[in-house]
Amino acid sequence: MRFPNLQWEQDNNRKQMKPSITDQKTSALLLSPGKTGEKKGLLQILTVDKTIHPPVYKTEPINSRLAIGAFGRLPDKLLKLFNLFSEESMMKTTVPIKQLYDAQQNDLAYPAFQKKELIRHQYDLFRELKPFMGTIKWYHTYPGAGGRMITAPCQLCMERPFLKFNVAREDAHYVIETIIELKNSDYPLNAFQRDAFFIQKDNNYYFLPLRDAQTLDWLEAQLLHYSQFKDKNQLGLILDTLQDKYPVNRNEWERKETIEVLPQPRVLLSELNDSFLMFTPQWLYDGWLVEGDWEPETTIHQKDTALIISRNKAAEEKLTTLLLSLHPKFADQKRGYYYLSFAEAQKRQWFPRAYHQLLTSGIELAGMDLLKHFRYSQHLPETDMELVTEDGRSCTYKLVVQFGKETLSTAELQKVLWGGQTAVLLKDGSLGLLNADWMQQYATLIKHGKVTKQHLVVSRWLQLSLQASEQTGRPTEGEVTTWWQRWQQWQQGQTVHPVPASINASLRSYQQKGYDWLCLMAAAGAGGCLADDMGLGKTLQSICFITKILEEHPGAQALVVCPASLIYNWEQELKKFAPHLRTVVYHGAQRTATIDDPAAQVIITSYGTLRAAEERFAVIPYKVVFIDESHNIKNPAAKITRAVGNLRGDLFFALSGTPVVNNTFDLYAQLNTVLPGLFGSREFFKREYADPIDRYADEVKQQQLQKLIAPFVLRRTKEQVATDLPEKMETILWCDMGESQRAAYEEVKEQIRGEVFSGIKTNGIAKSKLNVLQGILKLRQICNSPLLVEEAAAFSSDAIKMNILFDELEPIRSQHKVLVFSQFTRMLDLLAETCDQNNISYFHFDGQTPPAQRAQMVETFQQPGNTTNLFLISLKAGNAGLTLTAADYVFLFDPWWNEAVQQQAINRTHRIGQQKNVFAYKMICRNSIEEKILRLQERKQNLAADLISTDEGFMKSLSQEDVEWLFG
């Protein structure tokens, strides 16, 4: 093949010399990296004739015969390699590739699979070619400007490139940057031309390890779908995959969390080369495993968090010092582990003595189950468990476990079980096997119990849990038998406790079942967590139960602890459903009520007030305590968690639609508050359940935990009880402004009040309606956010509605689609900014959005596969012509008097085609213009009945007294 050169590269060293004929004719190997993975063309023989102008380039297929003609005598191995690069050899290679493809199940189509395997084969050939690369001239072809192929000299280099990755932020997104480290310098990948495992820069070629090339192919495939990351979880999965093989600098993407705790020492026992018993010292820092030589810090990457473990040198040295003291040979072993031959370990019963010394020193032992050399005892465990004492919360047993004549220490047995072992080392050097039947019957009780010598103290609620799930070993007489009969009736769907006649409500079937469950827990002396979805009536079920308890125990008191935003809701619901109960609200800096008033039957307070007045609350005995939105106490170390834990109550119940927000450990503080002692210490729960479930997706541990908590957590989703729900449920979401937002509101209200009343006095109310409407508008905007009103922004940027909205969105937006309506476009902008800051994807349109763009957003939102579950919509722009039946939650951020407009907004989702129940929430600030308009609607029946649809109509209905009341 002959063709004119498209670019003539002159030899810079000979610019001033007249070329000889030999210099003017050159033979070289031609590399075409774009043909990597193809059967021909990757490597050819090139002859360049520069005696002709323009020069002529001639290519020939590569084989040993033509190579000898072009280059003269070459090493035999090199000639064999040239033959392997030939088209004929590549065709032969495809035969076993096809056989391999047919023998496997592949996601790839055959052409893609063949190319992948040919690249692997060619990579191996180039590795063999490397020693000869410097003996031959090289040219390459590559695409130039306009798609023309350029032929030029090149060099194949021996230096190895290394891959690294950076995470960078671009606006509200994250991108993954690939870095090539070459000769101790870093370059972005796009500084090179890459073809499979070849990378080229300045006509110099470098070889990526095949694994690195495949990683880049995989990453490119991922980036086709995720070129910019808003979803931190998806980005985290990709980074975790890369982190296993390459340096990854996560930069500001990662949230840094420092762990500074004393480590739990642990020793891993294993066998080395079937000849040695090995002891590896390890340390558990808050459940995270660290081993190896001491260093000040060890970093572990977990999703979007960099866990920086501050290592305690003294504590780690304490373990290594103990290990060194066990045997004189350990002193000379500096590899981070210690070992003895099997014979040495068994000499004079050394191993059993060392084993028990480690256990009694509080060292956790792991790996016993995997030891093969040490024989198992012929005896099975014999267990005697005798009840010694019993009180309201716990049972104390005398526990004796024996293998033959040897009695185990209960404390050591518990440590063995904590370490996840099913074998114990006996004094004769054999392993006592704790078989499956024994583990099922005793392991949970021993692991959760408190050991004092040979006595085991077990929570009564733990026994109730095991009996409720297994239906075995339960008493059969008296009151307990009656309780079990009722429990079985409840499980079968029967009503077991009538609702008090004084309750002004009819409960739906699932609400009756929830009320029955509360009663059954109380009858067993236990608490629990009612974890129904938002909107299913947890408050009503609780009020029914509170009423029953207070009727059965005259003079008793109930306490409700909830977020400040829900205090008014509880007060209103109690007045509505149980008006006969004397209810007191104890909240805020200006508290007028007293919490020790014996006439008060129900006391409502906020988390903040409880924390501030902890000592006063702690001395009062309550018959029942309800902890609403209990995920607020998910942190065991928080002051509010301790304050709730110090309350004196006979019965505690948690209420939360989202008891697990971040991870399994969220459950611990909430359930440990209502069922003290059920889960043991926080360290035990974290090690036994939270870490295996959250870090390693341990299904067995998850099933064990579900079985443990099953009687005490009642969870119903709205999908499960859909047949019992009305088609549309509307609720008021009350919001309490904080101090600075309240100060801004009151300041502007006083200004408006003076201007409005002055205008009415001078011109009369009919001519002052514009001032009245403008004043109302400003106050409504401040309820949304002081940033919407210039005079208020100077006082505060706090916005209670935004806080509550995003709190409510957090548990529902991953599984449900949500509409948020606002009358104010600037408010929607503020919500959008907050979404961007928190990496929440959303759609957003208002009156300025072109119709075609709106239609596209609506169509995408409605699609089943769409994962953008939040839609921010202007009340006016989104009030007609839209079908958004994919959504089942609606938030009216700033309700107005125009009920018809509000209903139209809700009906964007509640219309024909909707197959789900719709939950609508009106967000209203307490003690504000919003609440007064609501009360005004209630007072003026004609206003509500006529569904006033214009501002003018609203103004016509207002008297001067109404205006004075609104701004009062």
| Mean pLDDT of successive 10-residue stretches along the chain, which has 968 residues | 35 35 77 94 92 87 92 91 94 91 81 92 94 91 85 93 87 81 92 95 94 92 61 71 82 74 92 90 90 88 77 93 92 88 86 83 84 77 87 83 90 87 84 83 87 84 69 42 81 88 90 93 88 83 95 94 81 91 83 77 91 90 93 84 91 85 78 84 84 82 85 82 63 87 90 84 76 87 91 85 90 86 90 90 84 79 86 74 74 74 58 63 90 75 39 58 78
Nearest alpha carbon to residue 31 among 43, 48, 45, 41: 43
For residue 728, what pLDDT is reported?
67
Amino acid at 183: K
Q: Which two tokens stand for residue 964?
A: 């004075």
Pairing of strands 149-156, 43-49: unpaired
Residue 412 to residue 277: CA distance in whole angstroms: 21
Per the CB < 8 A criterion, the answer to whether 585 and 571 are in contact is: yes
Say which residue the tokens 């191996």 belong to: 124
CA distances from 924 to 537, 719, 733, 891 (A): 19, 27, 6, 11
Answer yes or no: is 456 within a domain: yes
For residue 252, what pLDDT is reported?
61
Show which of 717, 745, 761 is a domain's final residue. 717
- Tell whether 859 and 877 lie within a shared domain: yes
Q: How many CA atoms lie within 13 A of 394 on its CB side?
A: 18
Answer yes or no: is 559 within a domain: no
For residue 790, what pLDDT is reported?
86
| Cβ count within 10 A of residue 605 | 26
Show which of 659, 690, 717 is a domain's final residue. 717
SS (H, E, C) 572-607: HHHHHHCCCCCEEEECCCCCCCCCCCCCCCEEEEEH
CA distances from 436 to 421, 423, 914 (A): 12, 11, 50
Answer yes or no: is 175 within a domain: yes
Say which residue the tokens 């922004």 belong to: 793
Instruction: Name 520's Cβ contacts closer than 8 Å, sequence gap at least 6.
Output: 483, 486, 487, 490, 496, 497
- Tell whether 224 and 301 lie within a shared domain: no
DSSP 868: -
- Tell whether 285 and 311 lie within a shared domain: yes
Q: Which residues pair with 175 in a beta bridge?
A: 168
Answer yes or no: is 612 within a domain: yes
Answer yes or no: is 558 within a domain: no
Per the CB < 8 A criterion, the answer to whether 345 and 353 are in contact is: no
- Tell whether 618 and 492 lie within a shared domain: yes
Backbone angles phi, psi at 444, to 5 degrees: -65, -45
Residue 562 to residue 229: CA distance in whole angstroms: 36
Give the domain extent around 277: 258-370
Show which of 253, 285, 319 is a domain's final residue. 253
Answer yes or no: is 262 within a domain: yes
For the chain, helix (H) and strand (E) counts, in that order, are 36, 41
Nearest alpha carbon to residue 603 among 555, 650, 558: 558
DSSP code string of 293-330? S--SEEEEEETTEEEEEE--HHHHHHHHHHHHHH-GGG
Length reported for the chain:
968
Pairing of strands 138-143, 149-156: antiparallel
Instruction: Name 941's Cβ contacts closer than 8 Å, sequence gap at least 6.
Output: none
- Tell whether 277 and 403 lie within a shared domain: no
Answer yes or no: is 561 within a domain: no
- Tell whether 308 and 446 lie within a shared domain: no
For residue 215, what pLDDT is reported?
93
Answer yes or no: is 169 within a domain: yes
Nearest alpha carbon to residue 730 among 891, 929, 881: 891
Query: How many distinct structural domains can be found in the chain?
Result: 6
Task: Write the CATH number for 502.
Answer: 3.40.50.10810
Pairing of strands 870-874, 162-170: unpaired
- Tell whether 279 and 230 lie within a shared domain: no
- Tell whether 627 and 737 lie within a shared domain: no
Per the CB < 8 A criterion, the answer to whether 199 and 31 are in contact is: no
pTM over 0.85? The answer is no
- Tell whether 458 and 511 lie within a shared domain: no
- Tell whether 549 and 677 lie within a shared domain: yes
Residue 171, by phi and psi: left (phi above 0), alpha (psi -120 to 50) or beta? Answer: left
Residue 103 CB burial class (10 angstroms; 0-12, 13-18, ≥19) = exposed
- Tell whether 483 and 581 lie within a shared domain: yes
CA distances from 938 to 904, 930, 949 (A): 21, 13, 17
- Tell whether 490 and 542 lie within a shared domain: yes
Amino acid at 75: P
SS (H, E, C) 459-501: EHHHHHHHHHHHCCCCCCCHHHHHHHHHHHHHHCCCCCCCCCC
Per the CB < 8 A criterion, the answer to whether 29 and 14 are in contact is: no
Q: Which residues pair with 180 in a beta bridge?
A: 163, 187
Q: Which two tokens stand for residue 124?
A: 């191996």
For residue 941, what pLDDT is reported?
46
Instruction: Name 729's Cβ contacts closer than 8 Å, sequence gap at least 6.
Output: 535, 917, 918, 919, 920
